[in-house]
Amino acid sequence: MSVAFDFLRYEIAEINYKIIEHTEDIQNETQKEIPVTTEISIQKNTDDPKLFRIQLNISVLEKRQFNMLLFGYFKWNGESVAEDTEQCILTNGAMMMYPYARAALSTISVLDGSKPIMLPTINVFEMFANKDQEDEGK
């Protein structure tokens, strides 16, 4: 069975982690919904139109601040690049990359002696639908 595209690799281009509020209570907090900002974009390779790079920016600001820039590299396996190829790679690629960001944040946040920060699961389709609605309202 052939696949539409390959996930070639990912890389963490930038990562920042900072404790904003030093309290003893961080250790005893219960897990609650955390404010997360996610931005996703895609760029096509100018030399090879079948190669794409997704840029995933994730920010968390609570008692600890976390920012990550993650790149994912993908190759389209189809005969030609269709009109909806970018959206296909962007949507599916984001779903493939998000667990790497989630694992990095939970690992880094537990190293400061606190409870790990767990990024919530996201509905990528809903996120893009909301973004499309926002873009139409502009």
Residues 103-130 have a mean pLDDT of: 82
CATH architecture of 5-137: Roll (3.10)
pLDDT band at 121 (very low <50, low <70, confident <90, very high): confident
Percent of the chain with pLDDT over 90: 49
Burial level of 68, CB count in 10 A (0-12/13-18/19+)? buried
Residues 18-36 have a mean pLDDT of: 64
The DSSP code for 122 is -
pLDDT over 50 at 26, yes or no = no
pLDDT band at 27 (very low <50, low <70, confident <90, very high): very low
**How far, in Å, are 78, 129, 133 from residue 118 at the CA level?**
36, 24, 28
pLDDT over 80 at 99, yes or no = yes
Residues 43-52 have a mean pLDDT of: 94
pTM of the model: 0.81
Check: CB of residue 82 under 8 Å from CB of residue 49. no
4 vs 22, which has greater pLDDT? 4
Report the side by side order of strands in the sheet with 51-61: 5-19, 64-76, 51-61, 36-44
pLDDT band at 3 (very low <50, low <70, confident <90, very high): confident
